[in-house]
Amino acid sequence: MPASQARVATDRASRYLKQLCSHFDKKAASQWDDHKGRTVFDFGTCDLTAEPDALVLRVEAEDAELLGRTEYVVGDHVTRFGTRDQLSVDWRRI
């Protein structure tokens, strides 16, 4: 399965992980705690890990097109929720 990963520098990774998973849970199955989270969308999955200095994101999907959609949805939400901290997401295909 195609996958991408991004490391978003922030000292508030746990806060963003919980905010993202809670928001995604309204439309997709999500599970999370203070350190790890997972959301299963209809078009792909997102695993989140809170590290002391970064939020690590890993997305997977059935094909490149769906992977792009998953990257877009997750990246857009991170950027919007992290406006105050100027968060940005730089996906790297793995």
The number of folded domains in the chain is 1
Question: What CATH number does the domain containing 84 carry?
Answer: 3.30.310.50
Give, for all 94 residues of the chain, the pLDDT tens digit. Answer: 899 999 999 999 999 999 999 999 999 999 999 999 999 999 999 999 999 999 999 999 999 999 999 999 999 999 999 999 999 999 999 9
pLDDT digits (tens, 9 = 90+) for 5-26: 999 999 999 999 999 999 999 9
Q: Report the DSSP beta bridge partners of residue 5.
A: 58, 92
Q: Is residue 8 part of a domain?
A: yes
Q: Is residue 70 part of a domain?
A: yes
DSSP string, 21-80: HHHHTTTSEEEE-SSEEEEE-SS-EEEEEEETTEEEEEEE-SSHHHHHHHHHHHHHHHHH
SS3 92: strand
The per-residue pLDDT for 52 is 97
